[in-house]
Chain A
């Protein structure tokens, strides 16, 4: 299996622009997680989906952030408009539900820099 695939791997954009991050989970996995990692705040869970349905989006910073999962093999995280404080590494992870015992498989991350 190719593992969790994220694109792009690096993104540099200017403040105010729209940014779209993409994730393809491991085939057969039914939970998908979006995380953000910064030096200041560490690893933060933004949102997670189960069977394509958003379960908990309490970690989404504000209305500028939105996430979708239109089908089992694709998810997007969108930031509109982007701000310099959104600069971070964004990880997508997927898992196969096992009542809390599941292992999460992380993608390589998207390194976002907002100028």
Chain B
């Protein structure tokens, strides 16, 4: 089975400051890793995902994440945040599957609030 832990439920940051949202996972099998973002009153949308290859993954809106297999982490970073980045961010894992049907396990979410 897989599990995802997002260590911070809320992260307040000043505008133009850097931010890191932490995510750790556990799994007995190889996994794919995802970050989704949920803006107020909207559904989730994909920010980025790690499938294979380079451990540094770049996503939309200037976000990037680094996969660290030894620490089972997939932290999300942005060097300079904007007011429009105010949202809830979800880390997720999905087992690499040889079958066609699979489900994704979401973390509990981190609410990022940007202060002007």
Contacts and interface: CB of A to CB of B under 8 A. Distances in A.
Contact of B100 (A48, A99, A109): A99
Contacts of A87: none
**Interface size bucket, A side?**
20 to 34
B94 A101 contact: yes
Interface string A37-59: 00000110100101100011000
Interface stretch (B11-19, B41-49, B62-70): B41-49
Contact of B98 (A31, A99, A101): A99
A7 B45 CA distance: 19
Contacts of A43: 44, 90, 106, 109
A93 interface: yes
Nearest to A48: B103
B97 A100 contact: yes
A91 B44 contact: yes
Name the residue in A104, A108, A109 with the highest tally of chain B Cβ atoms < 10 Å from its Cβ.
A104
**Interface size bucket, B side?**
20 to 34
Contacts of A109: 42-43
Given A99-B96, A100-B96, A45 B43 contact: no
Contact of A42 (B32, B42, B102, B108): B108
Nearest to B49: A103
Contacts of A50: 100-101
Interface of A: 4, 30-31, 33, 42-43, 45, 48, 50-51, 55-56, 91, 93, 97, 99-109
Per CB-CB distance, the 9 closest pairs between chain A and chain B, nearest first, are A106-B43, A50-B101, A100-B97, A100-B94, A100-B102, A97-B100, A106-B44, A103-B46, A55-B101
